[in-house]
């Protein structure tokens, strides 16, 4: 997908004391979110109408995604994905 390497890149506020790194990429009305859990505890992320394009060390549930330590998830917004 072109959106993975092109478009506007917006980093979340990342600090040394936080266990998550995230960013959003936007192109022509499409949007992906990426979360990387660099901490030692499970990180719970709501799906909010998104589905996982790819992930590692995750448990994808109806309500959201649990990202294990050192895991990541890349989510895409879909208007009618049934997520």
| pLDDT tens profile 32-75 | 999 999 999 999 999 888 999 999 999 998 889 999 999 999 99
Q: What is the pLDDT of residue 80?
A: 47
Write out the chain in H/E/C secondary structure. CHHHCCCEEEECCCCCCCCEEEEEEEECCEEEEEEEECCCCCEEEECCCEEEEEEEEEEECCCEEEEEEEEEEEEEECCCCCC
pTM (2 d.p.) = 0.79
Q: Do 54 and 74 meet the contact criterion of CB atoms below 8 Å apart?
A: yes
What does the block give as tokens for 74?
């890349």
pLDDT at 29 exceeding the cut of 70: yes
């Amino acid at each position: 997908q072109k959106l993975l390497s092109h478009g506007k890149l917006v980093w979340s506020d990342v600090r040394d004391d936080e266990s998550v790194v995230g960013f959003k990429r936007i192109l022509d009305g499409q949007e992906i979110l990426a979360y990387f859990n660099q901490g030692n505890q499970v990180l719970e992320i709501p799906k909010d109408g998104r589905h996982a394009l790819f992930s590692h060390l995750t448990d994808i549930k109806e309500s959201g995604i649990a990202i294990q330590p050192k895991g990541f998830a890349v989510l895409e917004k879909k208007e009618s994905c049934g997520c």
